[in-house]
Structures are given as structure tokens and as C-alpha cells.
Amino acid sequence: MAVTVSRIRRDVVALSGPETVAYLQGQLSQDVGALAVGDSALAFVLQPTGKVDTWVRVDRAGVETVRLDTDAGAGAGLMARLQRFKLRTKTDIELVEGVAVLAVRGAEVIDGVPSGWPGLEGSDVFDADPDELPSDLPVGALDLDGEGYEALRIAHGVPAMGAEITVDTIPAELGQWVIDASVSFTKGCFTGQELVARIDSRGGKVPRHLRGFASVTPPPAAGEVLSVDGRDVGVVTSAAIDATGRTVGLALVHRSIDPPATALLAGAEVQVLALPIVTPE
């Protein structure tokens, strides 16, 4: 896999104070207390019903300091959610929107926060100068524009806020790797835990699953419907053109459709695929 570098933006919510970790233990699905200073991990901030409020990366920046970063545009909602549940907790919360990030995929760099995707290692370098690449970036790294980065995200089955993840999303719909990376089932109670634990105990059975699809037609708009044998079975959440020139996309698809499968999308055939999507040689 080629090493790529992209210029993206992330929202960052920083919490600091003597009760920061204890507070986040009750709010996040990840075991924040088990993270050593300098460690990071993915996590959900859930609604009390167990549906997703925000998907974040947790960076244990200090003994009393934790940074949560999420997709650009989702930070304000995350800030409001954390403030609402804070009450008299001794932690200060600060939001910085649109932080410049160099997203390296296919390699890790020293100054970056680990950001691996299924089948692809990576690092995100925060507050980065867009014209200054990491000194340890492998020679020959490809520069990806916004659509190239989007296609790479889609191909590796990485959900995004506002696309695959909405207020109606159940964590288990997003794939087992997301659950494994984002949820601790041993740390104790957290907001929204009941639904997540119940679904896990039942083998992760949910009505729909995040799937990939590929076609030679132009990228469809989010919200377009996939059908099989005249029955609506899924809804497009993201689509882009990949490096080979084909359209790749993500859709939430009914559990009755077992990939690979052929479906119709806007009158054209598409292949519903398991994730990650394999790029043709």
C-alpha cells in the first residue's frame, strides 16, 4: 500500500483538571483510566439511549489533561454534550475548531497521533504546517486531495460524523472493528452502556450493517437507495472516486444482504462488498 499524506481538519475538545479522568470514565465507552500519558484510543460518546452522540479519539495528553478529537464540524456538539453532563465536576472544557492536521496513511511518523485504519497504519500530525512534511515521512509519499482522502477513508470502512454516524446510529452497525477499537466491556458503567452491552451479548445482531459498494457509474448522492429484487435494502452514506477511477461508497445495508451481492442503485448495478474494499491490482 502506498504511503499518502492529506491535509484535513479536526475539531479538538480539551479537558483539564483533577476530576477529568473520573468524569470521562462515566461518559466515554473507552477505558480512559487505563491509558498512560501519551497513549490514545478511539471511543464513543453515547446518548443515554445507547445511540451515538460523537465518535472521538481520546489522547491522554497529561495526568489531568485529555484531548478528544473528532471530525470537523462535530466539535461544538461534543462540547455541548460534555458541558451538559459536567455539573460540579472539577474539569475545564475548551473547544478548538478546525485544527490543521497532516493525515499520514500507510506509515507512522514520530510526531503524529496513531490513526490506523483496518489494514492500514497511520498517524495524524496536529497543528501542522501544511507546507512542512514530517522529516521521517517515507520518500515517495503520495499527496492526496480531499476526494482522494475521502475515497481512501471509504475503502477502509472508516465511518464519518454526519455521514455514517448520525443521532440514529447504533454503534454495532458500524462494524466489529469499530466496536473492538472503541468500547471497553470491562471498565464499568458509562452513559449508554446498556444498549451496547446487550447487543454485544447477542452477537452484535442489528437490523443493518455498514457495507461498501463499488461501481463504474458516477458517485451517488448520500441518501440514494439500494435495492435487491425490487426491495429497498440500504441507503448510501458516502461515495467518491478512487485512484483507479471507479466509484466506491459506503451504505447502511439490511442484514439480509450478505456481501458480495449485486444491487441496483439509481437504475445501475453496483456490487455490495464487505469492508475494507479491496483495490484491484
Tens-place pLDDT, residues 91-141: 999 999 999 999 999 999 999 999 999 999 999 999 988 889 999 999 999
Question: Cα separations (Å) of 3 from 105, 120, 191?
Answer: 6, 10, 38
For residue 178, being part of any structural domain is answered with no
For residue 65, being part of any structural domain is answered with yes
Q: Clarify whether residues 151 and 212 are in a common domain.
A: no
Q: Clarify whether residues 80 and 150 are in a common domain.
A: yes
Model confidence pLDDT, tens digit, residues 260-275: 999 999 999 999 999 9
For residue 97, being part of any structural domain is answered with yes
Helices (H) and strands (E) in the chain, counts: 5, 14
The per-residue pLDDT for 105 is 97
Task: Characterize 190-201 residue by residue with b for buried, 16 or more Cβ atoms within 10 angstroms of its Cβ, and e for exposed.
Answer: bbbbebbeebbe
- CATH number reported for the structural domain that contains residue 91 in this entry: 3.30.70.1400
Q: Clarify whether residues 151 and 41 are in a common domain.
A: yes
Reference 138, options 5, 7, 242, 6; nearest CA is 5
Give me 203's grid cell.
452477537
Q: Clarify whether residues 250 and 117 are in a common domain.
A: no
Pick from 155, 174, 193: which residue ends a domain?
Answer: 155
The per-residue pLDDT for 204 is 82
For residue 181, being part of any structural domain is answered with no
Q: Clarify whether residues 140 and 46 are in a common domain.
A: yes
Give the total residue count for the chain.
Answer: 281
The per-residue pLDDT for 43 is 98
Q: Clarify whether residues 131 and 213 are in a common domain.
A: no
Q: Does the structure show a pLDDT above 90 at 203?
A: no
Say if residues 240 and 277 touch (Cβ distance below 8 Å): no
Q: Provide the pLDDT confidence category of residue 213 given band limits of 50, 70 and 90.
A: very high
Task: Give the span between the Cα atoms of 247 and 228, in whole angstroms.
Answer: 19
Percent of the chain with pLDDT over 70: 99
Helices marked H in 117-272: 146-155, 176-182, 193-201
Reference 20, options 7, 6, 2, 37; nearest CA is 37
Q: Clarify whether residues 36 and 136 are in a common domain.
A: yes
Say if residues 211 and 275 touch (Cβ distance below 8 Å): yes
Q: What is the mean pLDDT of residues 7-36?
A: 98
Sort 207 into a burial class: Cβ within 10 Å, 0-12 / 13-18 / 19+. exposed
Q: Clarify whether residues 118 and 240 are in a common domain.
A: no
Q: Does the structure show a pLDDT above 60 at 280?
A: no
Rounding to the nearest 10 degrees, give the CA dihedral for residues 102, 108, 112, 116.
Answer: 80
Q: Does the structure show a pLDDT above 60 at 27?
A: yes
Task: Give the span between the Cα atoms of 172 and 269, in whole angstroms.
Answer: 27
For residue 202, being part of any structural domain is answered with no
Q: Does the structure show a pLDDT above 90 at 179?
A: yes
Q: What is the mean pLDDT of residues 44-72?
A: 97
List phi, psi (to 5°) of 182: -115, -15
Please tell me the total count of domains within the chain.
Answer: 2
Q: What angle do CA 50, 55, 58 make, to 5 degrees?
A: 115
Q: Clarify whether residues 128 and 214 are in a common domain.
A: no
The per-residue pLDDT for 131 is 87
Pick from 121, 155, 189: which residue ends a domain?
Answer: 155
The number of C-alpha atoms within 13 Å of 173 and in the hemisphere containing its C-beta is 22
**Could you tell me the residue range of the domain that residue 113 belongs to?**
4-155
Pick from 155, 170, 194: which residue ends a domain?
Answer: 155
Choice between 229 and 1, residue whose per-residue pLDDT is larger: 229
Q: Clarify whether residues 217 and 106 are in a common domain.
A: no
Give the least confident one: 35-39, 160-164, 201-205.
201-205
Q: Clarify whether residues 13 and 151 are in a common domain.
A: yes
Q: Does the structure show a pLDDT above 80 at 160?
A: yes
Q: Clarify whether residues 212 and 146 are in a common domain.
A: no
- CATH number reported for the structural domain that contains residue 236 in this entry: 2.40.30.110
Q: Does the structure show a pLDDT above 70 at 281?
A: no
Mean pLDDT rounded to a whole number for the chain: 95
Q: Does the structure show a pLDDT above 80 at 194?
A: yes
For residue 179, being part of any structural domain is answered with no
